[in-house]
Structure 1
Amino acid sequence: MTTVPRRPVPRRPDPRDRLGHAAPAPYWLDRPERPRAAPRLTADTSCDLAVVGGGYTGLWTALLAKRRHPHLDVLLVEQSTCGHAASGRNGGFCSPSLTHGLANGADRWPAEIGLLQRLGAANFTAFQEDLETYGIDCGFARTGKVTVAATPWQATALRDAAALARRHGEKATLLDRRELGAYVDSPLWHTGLFSPDYALLDPARLVWGLREACLAQGVRLAEHTEVTALTTRPTGPVRLRTPYAAVTARRVALATNIHRPLLRRLSLTMIPVYDYALVTEPLTDSRLAGIGWSGDHGITDAGNQFHYARKTDDNRILWGGYDAIYPYGSRTAEHLTQRPETFELLAAQFAEAFPSLEDVPFSHAWGGVIDSTTRFCMFAGTASRGRVGYALGFTGLGVGATRYGAEVILDLLAGRPTERTRPAMIRRPPVPFPPEPVRYLGIQATRRSLAREDAHGRRDRWLRTLDGLGLGFDS
């Protein structure tokens, strides 16, 4: 009897093998063109407007303040380097929405959603025009976004989203499996929704372009300068303390993302949520064609714990999301931007979505912190009798909304009511998070319930209770 030798079963690549040489740094910031840091502040100074925070919100605030009043003395201080935090670590999706998407805005402010949509569209147009005005080359392109569904209940959610978009005049095209194949071909996804009014950009080049534009307009910049305290008196200027010098300012704009708030009232309005991403090594056109991804659009999936994906200029794929990690006690620290178990999970999920790319190694793996609120979108306000303004809480979909937040800060500091400051999302702060340990336990319970809904399509009693209270949590 002849024994036929059994053909060896190919070993599936281990996600850890594909991550072995990944740089523990954001792909966008890991470049030689990164500008040299500005000197830290070492001598006491005064100014008309001090901007605290060198991310998108702070840079837009400084730049637009100089456009409104060219002779204004504006000083921007950043504790690290501009764009080191969320602004240099995100996926580069730029949405026209101010409210973390139409559905979130329509649910929370139904009477004002038309105004919010119009303000968002106007801000999106102004965003693009300002890039052209100041010569900021960040690869901004309105390439659109495809949201994909892997389950029947996710497909139903996409159909509901398409109907909502039609009611509010937002462009959106529902795609069946055959039509979706023109955008991406994956065994996981069978329904899609194409939203053409999304843009993609290079996050770091946007930061660096805004930074250069600020300097060209006469903004003073101090990096590696942490503001450790803010003090005021009933009248007069505001005083900022840094490790080596003090700043006396007539007005102060806070654009500090999730970092320790300088105003006590803000301490429970946001929580830090860590989001993680991978970037592959460059791919050939033929390998991209093998997954049907010939366009430049971005992709997100329709789960509560959702992924986002996009291509870079050199044919890499950025793949991120899903794991939204809240550290107990609202801790923030640089070491939390590296989480090997999440990177391995993302690598395995990437191979599941694109089996033909399961052997592709990753070049970068990193995380970043999101300033999440109970309503998932920005809020703004003033303190110290209108001398201190702030816009915070952009919750991961705020690349475009940061410009709007900057305009709102400047309107509020000027004491001038405008159409931008009229909506309830500006006039009323978000519901605060509870203190620990209730906060941590509630967030973990919510994550478990969201995962169950993704798996079975049913919203449990805990999620329905949060819905009724106008609260929630997602990635």
Structure 2
Amino acid sequence: MAIVGAGYTGLWTAYYLAKADPSLRIVVLEAETVGFGASGRNGGWCSALFPVSSQRLASLSSRDSAIAMHRAMQASVNEVGLVSAAEGIDCDYHKGGTIVLARTAAQLARARAEVAEAGEWGPGDLRFLEPDEVASQVRATKVLGATFTPHCAALHPGKLVRGLAAVVERLGVTIHEHTPVVSISAGQAVTQYGVLRAEVVVRATEGFTPSLAGEARTLAPVYSLMVATEPLPEATWDQIGLADRPTFSDHRHLVIYGQRTADGRLAFGGRGAPYHFGSRVKPSFDVEPRVFGALQSTLRSLFDGLDDVAFTHAWGGPLGVPRDWCASVGIDHQSGLAWAGGYVGDGVSTTNLAGRTLTDLILRRDTRLIHLPWVDHRSPRWEPEPLRWLGINAGLRAMTAADTEECLTRRNSRIARLMSPLLGG
């Protein structure tokens, strides 16, 4: 069994396969080091978010299947915590939910509509919070309301991926770091040092997928960047709140995300970095001073008392975006080629579901997981360049423009409404 990529997808797949059948010979090939990609540098949201809406999922299958996917995502949040505890992975896992603030009239309308829509797809686990209810959890600026879901845990992504790697190695899985794979095909993974032959080859490369031969248009690597403060004193936390460590965001269009870390920092990230022509991925692209500065300013605008706080860390990396924004998992039993990915930044828990689903598919077990609507979904390929470069960067700029439009008009953005069908809406 060959797995290409030692991030969450590859390691969760190795974990569940090794647990299900200890006699399997499982080898994980990694171009850099364990967790080098998004698995080691994400925002630490272990959430039930899936990159496309329930309505879109239902259009791929059925209403019941979309609801089943929603529940499977919720269960995956708990599964990550259960396995971490059972295997002794100290990843600072704490399930405090997610609070998404509404700070403009347009955001408030969107928040109320989101709660109403969520209620049409199952139990009312997404709640609307009035300003006084918000203040009991977090004291941010300009708050008009918020949405809250309990289905999210904050964690340390690097600790989780490194701990998971240690666990799978104890189970007998072999991990070869610094072993770039240049191509995969039926029965083999071709590396710079030779060919690994296996009955099943799993592609688990996410934002680095375009580096594989023939995969340049499968997923687009889009960069997300983060900053982190120094550890904050208790007086500042008394002013901000977040005592139960809920992850936080607001209802703007350009994605932002944050958490209170276990060691008392604010870790905060967002989109806005450009897509690079030809789906290129380079270490230098992780550094965008303009975006780092914007993130710092945004965080200071969210919370009072941060003017003199130092930012001690800044980093970034690529995530994988399919053309229809719909993550997928599947296998071609004839060729033995399997895959999972396209999480659009919502991968911390989705990768766990992918690992369990791939295990059932590979072992040909007929379980409820293999009937979920994302299984064997085939996203369209991205357009060739320069159309891909033009389209993705235009979309990123459109989301920024949509937020500016709403601040000026105080109404839901027309730009965002036009873009919604292209962004998983």
Q: Are 1:452 and 1:458, in contact at CA under 8 Å, matched by a contact in 2?
A: no
Aligned residue in 2 for 1:366: 315
Q: CA deviation at 1:211?
A: 0.7
Q: How does 1:179-194 map to 2 (within 5 A)?
A: 179-194=133-148
Find the partner of 1:328 among 277, 280, 283. Answer: 277
Q: CA deviation at 1:78?
A: 0.8
2:189 maps to amino acid: L
Q: Distance in 2 between matches of 1:361 and 1:107?
A: 47
Q: Are 1:100 and 1:397, in contact at CA under 8 Å, matched by a contact in 2?
A: no
Q: Distance in 2 between matches of 1:324 and 1:376?
A: 18
Aligned residue in 2 for 1:46: none
Aligned residue in 1 for 2:362: 413
Q: Are 2:118 and 2:126, in contact at CA under 8 Å, matched by a contact in 1?
A: yes
User: Which structure has the bigger radius of gyration?
Assistant: 1
1:338 pairs with 2:275 = no
The answer to which of 251-260 and 395-404 deviates more is 251-260
Partner SS, residue 357 of structure 1: coil
Identical aligned residues as a percent = 30
Structure 1 107/169 Cα, relative in aligned 2: closer, same or farther at 3 Å? farther
1:435 pairs with 2:398 = no
Question: Could you list the per-position Cα deviations for residues 301-349 of structure 1 after superposition, in whole angstroms to 9, with x for gaps in the alignment?
Answer: 1111032111111211111114243112211111100111111111122
Q: Distance in 2 between matches of 1:324 and 1:229?
A: 28
2:123 maps to amino acid: G
1:297 maps to amino acid: P
Q: Distance in 2 between matches of 1:330 and 1:135?
A: 38
Find the partner of 1:447 among 393, 396, 399. Answer: 396
Q: Distance in 1 between matches of 2:123 and 2:93?
A: 23
Q: Are 1:447 and 1:473, in contact at CA under 8 Å, matched by a contact in 2?
A: no
Q: Distance in 1 between matches of 2:283 and 2:244?
A: 35
Structure 1 165/185 Cα, relative in aligned 2: closer, same or farther at 3 Å? same
Q: Are 2:52 and 2:424, in contact at CA under 8 Å, matched by a contact in 1?
A: no
Aligned residue in 2 for 1:149: 102
Q: Distance in 2 between matches of 1:106 and 1:188?
A: 36
Q: Are 2:183 and 2:212, in contact at CA under 8 Å, matched by a contact in 1?
A: no
Q: CA deviation at 1:392?
A: 1.2
1:220 pairs with 2:174 = yes
Structure 1 159/300 Cα, relative in aligned 2: closer, same or farther at 3 Å? same
Q: Distance in 2 between matches of 1:103 and 1:283?
A: 41
Q: CA deviation at 1:414?
A: 3.2
1:87 pairs with 2:62 = no
Q: Are 1:388 and 1:413, in contact at CA under 8 Å, matched by a contact in 2?
A: no
The answer to which of 133-142 and 57-66 deviates more is 133-142
Aligned residue in 2 for 1:26: none
Question: Could you list the per-position Cα deviations for residues 399-451 of structure 1 after superposition, in whole angstroms to 9, with x for gaps in the alignment?
Answer: 00101111222333334554222233223212332111122222233233323
Aligned residue in 1 for 2:18: 66
Aligned residue in 1 for 2:338: 389
Structure 1 262/84 Cα, relative in aligned 2: closer, same or farther at 3 Å? closer
**Aligned Cα root-mean-square deviation (Å):** 2.4
Structure 1 323/195 Cα, relative in aligned 2: closer, same or farther at 3 Å? same
Q: How does 1:203-352 map to 2 (within 5 A)?
A: 203-232=157-186, 238-261=187-210, 266-352=215-301
Aligned residue in 1 for 2:154: 200
1:119 pairs with 2:68 = no
2:242 maps to amino acid: W
The answer to which of 127-136 and 89-98 deviates more is 127-136
Q: Distance in 2 between matches of 1:396 and 1:423?
A: 20
- Bigger share in helix: 2
Q: Distance in 1 between matches of 2:416 and 2:249?
A: 22
Structure 1 396/269 Cα, relative in aligned 2: closer, same or farther at 3 Å? same
1:471 pairs with 2:422 = yes
Q: Are 2:77 and 2:151, in contact at CA under 8 Å, matched by a contact in 1?
A: no
2:161 maps to amino acid: V
Q: CA deviation at 1:103?
A: 7.0
Q: CA deviation at 1:122?
A: 3.3
TM-score (norm 2): 0.91
Question: Which runs of 5 or more structure 1 residues have no equivalent in the other structure?
Answer: 1-48, 233-237
Q: CA deviation at 1:300?
A: 0.9
Aligned residue in 2 for 1:163: 116
Structure 1 416/441 Cα, relative in aligned 2: closer, same or farther at 3 Å? same
1:471 maps to amino acid: L
Aligned length: 418
The answer to which of 209-218 and 404-413 deviates more is 404-413
Q: Distance in 2 between matches of 1:418 and 1:265?
A: 32
1:241 maps to amino acid: V
